[in-house]
Structure 1
Amino acid sequence: METYRNLGDLRPGAILAEDVFANTAHPIVRKGTTLDMEHLEILHLFAIKRVKVEERIVNRVQPEQTAGSTAGTIETDLDQLLENKVSRTKDLHTMYNKAVNEYKREFTSWRSGMKLDIAKVRLLIMPLLETYMEHRKLLVILNEYSNRKEYMYHHAVSVGMLTAALASELEYPKGITLQLGLAGTLADCGMAKVPSQLLEKAAFLTKSEFSEVKKHPILSYQMMQDSPLLRQEMKLAVLQHHERLDGSGYPRGDQGEKISQYAQVIAVADVFHAMTCERVYRSKESPYRVAEMLKEEDFGKFDPAVVDALYDMIGMPVAGDQVILTNGDSGSVVIGNPAFPFRPVVKVKNTGEEVDLTAHRAVSIEKVIG
């Protein structure tokens, strides 16, 4: 028997009776999944209110058969743990949305001619940097928060968070990590001085139009140049965050050791978030596929140490993880692959076939759902 249940009434062990979508091409959780707390957290994150479940429950907790009060205590503990996790995720998402809205307000003021107030930007981003670095699992799905219409504001906040997380993975001192997060948030503030019709254009930019957009690192640097609230090396990192080690970047075509490592940290965070998001002129890519592209296809453009930090931040799927693939299939990881961390062997749910993703390069992991 199947029935619809409100998310707040669900408990670990419930079995989904239908795929769950959230304005996505593929389900965020597949039919037949036995829900655990990570799944419930994901459903809450995507604001899913009700789902269809089977009446039977898989008991994931196997208490000893003692007094009846023991089972009641375990159920109470599960309820409390779930309540705490859902509450935490809701608080984090609320904090993130508040920061995006506040950044949008600041960006609009810069566009109208107001001076950049770094103190205000620091105030809106610092709580996120401190909090999300403790919950890095959520960083890999920041692209799910974004939308085409308000991409620029989501991008600024997300790049700040990703930059700080990468800096932490690289074991930078906390002061440097927080300064880098602030610099990452401000890296594209100069976009406020670029003609709005270019930023909103749905088609590819012409060569001359792109030349205008490529001025934004210089404009960002100029906007923050006189502020004592950002270290000079961070301002240089903002100026250089579109430079590439092979000299193919902009605005100056710097290469090699002329590019600071701080700029390289922002660069990886910037490209990773941009490529995983849907934008007015392109569809989004899987975060796992983008990380691979930065290491393999764009080899020589980015600092390998920073790309390795991105891999560590994302984390390698391990045996037992439930995954959704870019071709729409879902399954479970059978065995990981340390040589190619995002290309494990996956047992496809519908067919039972074991697919080695190293031999099927056209297919990647779309999402790890627990």
Structure 2
Amino acid sequence: MDLEAVFMRVEELQLGKVIAEDVFANTQYPIIHKDTKIKPEHLRVFELFNLKMILVYKGESIEELSENCLENQVTSVSIPKYIAFETYYNDAVNQLKKEFSNWGAGGKIDITKVRGMIIPLIEKVLEDRSYIFDLNAYSNPKDYLYHHCIATGVIASVMAKKLGFERGITIQMAIAGMLADSGMARISNRIREKKVQLTKEEFEEVKNHPYYSFMLVKNLPALKEVMKEAIYQHHERLDGSGYPKGDRIGSISNFAQIIAVADVFHAMTSERLYRTKQSPFKVMEMIKEEEFGKFDIKVVQALVDIVVDLPIGTKIELSNLELGEVMYINKYAPTRPLVKLIRTGEIIDLSLNRGLYISRVITKNI
């Protein structure tokens, strides 16, 4: 049975429509395959490739189409693998800047747009966690807030996967992590863009942002209630030193802890208006030692495992600017592996040489 199809403008496409032919964009292979049900992330792909018209079946949703004609339907999200992570990332940051302006003016969160920004990034980073090491290189002090939202969502999703949560939860964690600081849109630009450390009064105003974030997300049916709670609690600490309520262990959800650790990790490894970035390995040591008692040990360990579990031969740069490669991971001091210097061939045990540390991982992505 032949199904009737019609061309529709991209901006008029509805979620649930089914694509009636392979979609090409000056590419050898399709960027989206025929019989794919349109999801928010596909709309972002169409925009990235500047596509104007898409051929779709006339049925209102996939359920109205013949099952026999959709045997090869793509049920998982199909994201073109040859589009660089950085392309999706920069597009997400630019889109988020526009959304922040809307939220600051009293607008509501469009969860379809949010999903469209974060899902392509999650598809890639869940396959290759090394993108985590590139996040602080993409960021810049001026647009730090938008980079931080995207990166927190990405890191939170990888942590959720590491902790054993199923895919649906990892995606929810990505969205919650991304929206945790959405309430900053309701904070004065004067405070958000201040180039020196905030006064006590200004910081008190910033401490209201989890509440503002919660108010923005509380009526979103697509976001689980536990994720909304996590957004509200993501600055709480197990020892009661956090805000907005000063909750302690037993009252703070694990999901809030995941966002909290992702938030702190990206903040400390990024260049900010009044603070220089630090090595991911140094930051992990600080979180484990200086922040001990504030975060759930299992959550922290999940991020440690993600950051320090480097394959033998991974290229790194040390704090003295020497280049080297990882030779052996010491399970008792995982942030301080055995490394071989490329220039001299010297073997250095970072667990014994505390004056040196890994400043960055050299990835294929940068």
Please, which of 296, 308, 323 is the counterpart of residue 330 of structure 1?
Answer: 323
Shift of residue 223, structure 1, vs aligned partner: 1.3
5 Å-filtered alignment, 1:132-211, equals 132-211=125-204
- Counterpart for residue 12 of structure 2: none
| Pairing 1:265–2:258 present | yes
- Counterpart for residue 332 of structure 2: 339
Deviations, residues 1-57 of structure 1 (Å, cap 9, x unaligned): xxxxxxxxxxxxxxxxxxxxxxxxxxxxxxxxxxxxxxxxxxxxxxxxxxxxxxxxx
Q: What is the RMSD computed on CA atoms of the aligned residues?
A: 1.8
Please, which of 105, 108, 112 is the counterpart of residue 119 of structure 1?
Answer: 112
Q: Which runs of 5+ in 2 are unaligned?
A: 1-79
Letter in structure 2 aligned against 1:157: I
Cα distance in 2 for residues equivalent to 1:369 and 1:202: 30
Please, which of 266, 273, 278 is the counterpart of residue 285 of structure 1?
Answer: 278
Contact 2:312 2:327 in 1 (8 A): yes
Cα distance in 1 for residues equivalent to 2:171 and 2:312: 34
Cα distance in 2 for residues equivalent to 1:91 and 1:334: 29
Shift of residue 246, structure 1, vs aligned partner: 0.9
Contact 1:317 1:344 in 2 (8 A): no
Percent identity, aligned pairs only, is 49
Please, which of 225, 233, 257 is the counterpart of residue 232 of structure 1?
Answer: 225
- Counterpart for residue 131 of structure 1: 124
Q: How many aligned positions are there?
A: 284
Shift of residue 274, structure 1, vs aligned partner: 0.7
Bigger helix fraction:
1
Contact 1:160 1:182 in 2 (8 A): yes
- Segment drifting more, 157-166 vs 293-302: 293-302
Cα distance in 1 for residues equivalent to 2:355 and 2:337: 14
- Counterpart for residue 255 of structure 1: 248
- Segment drifting more, 246-255 vs 360-369: 360-369
Please, which of 294, 305, 315 is the counterpart of residue 301 of structure 1?
Answer: 294
TM-score normalised per structure 1: 0.73
Cα distance in 2 for residues equivalent to 1:334 and 1:184: 34
Shift of residue 119, structure 1, vs aligned partner: 2.7
Cα distance in 2 for residues equivalent to 1:118 and 1:151: 22
Cα distance in 1 for residues equivalent to 2:325 and 2:150: 33
What SS is found at the alignment partner of 2:310? coil
- Residues 122 and 364 of structure 1, relative CA distance in 2, 3 Å threshold: same
Shift of residue 187, structure 1, vs aligned partner: 0.2
Q: Which runs of 5+ in 1 are unaligned?
A: 1-86
Deviations, residues 141-160 of structure 1 (Å, cap 9, x unaligned): 21111111111111111111
Cα distance in 2 for residues equivalent to 1:215 and 1:174: 31
Contact 1:119 1:229 in 2 (8 A): no
Cα distance in 2 for residues equivalent to 1:129 and 1:318: 22
Please, which of 269, 273, 290 is the counterpart of residue 276 of structure 1?
Answer: 269
- Segment drifting more, 98-107 vs 292-301: 292-301
Deviations, residues 296-353 of structure 1 (Å, cap 9, x unaligned): 2211111111111112222433543332112212223343211111202223344554
- Segment drifting more, 269-278 vs 334-343: 334-343
| Pairing 1:363–2:356 present | yes
Deviations, residues 258-309 of structure 1 (Å, cap 9, x unaligned): 0000000101111111110000000001111112221222111111111111
Contact 2:314 2:326 in 1 (8 A): yes
5 Å-filtered alignment, 1:13-24, equals none
TM-score normalised per structure 2: 0.74
Cα distance in 2 for residues equivalent to 1:229 and 1:88: 27
Cα distance in 1 for residues equivalent to 2:157 and 2:314: 27
Contact 2:281 2:308 in 1 (8 A): no
Shift of residue 182, structure 1, vs aligned partner: 0.5
